[in-house]
A and B are shown apart, each in its own frame.
Chain A
């Protein structure tokens, strides 16, 4: 069964900390994505990557960066965490363009 694994289910960080959210997929997918999910707003795209070392901004990239050094791993970085980044973060991957996504279980991040 195909899998997208997010390293943490729950995370509590302090304001100003640098935060790393890790995502690994075992399906040899080309594309990987980071979304954040907030009540009433659905899923909003932060960044995506269509190849190793490639990245593209999504709809809400401010305050975030990403890294994709290997095909199977896509990291989301909060350079200086703020309370408005408290959210559920979802990683997803897809085989290639115009294919559906497989999601991880999510990381619920609380910034205090």
Chain B
């Protein structure tokens, strides 16, 4: 089955700086890569996703890049704000199922 590894496990950034989270996956058949943000007491919410026929996607301050050859994808958050503090999960989809990384706890320092 699919194995997704996510790094780092914790990330502390100064407000206004950028944050980068990296993930690798094992199954070359995976073709959809979403990122979820989980705030305290809530379920994960989709923030951005990318399919295997695209190399990069951007939505305001967040962007995702995908390197299918190397089987890795990354989340970039620019101009971080306090409300970006949360746990972020990457995932890879093969057929029906998403396999998730272990999560990154992002703390934005004011």
A-side interface residues toward B, CB under 8 Å?
4, 31, 33, 35, 40-45, 48, 50, 56, 58-59, 90, 92, 94, 97-106
Contacts and interface: CB of A to CB of B under 8 A. Distances in A.
B46 interface: yes
Contacts, number: 56
Given A59-B1, A94-B96, A103-B36, 6 more contacts: A33-B97, A42-B101, A43-B44, A92-B43, A97-B96, A106-B43
A43 B38 CA distance: 12
Contact of A40 (B9, B45, B89, B98): B9
B13 interface: no
Interface residues of B, number: 25
Nearest to A30: B96
Task: List 10 tightest A-B contacts by C-beta distance, closest first.
Answer: A103-B43, A42-B102, A43-B100, A42-B100, A105-B43, A103-B44, A97-B96, A100-B34, A106-B43, A42-B103
Contact of A98 (B9, B43, B95, B100): B95
Q: Which of B9, B98, B99 has the most CB of A within 10 A?
A: B98
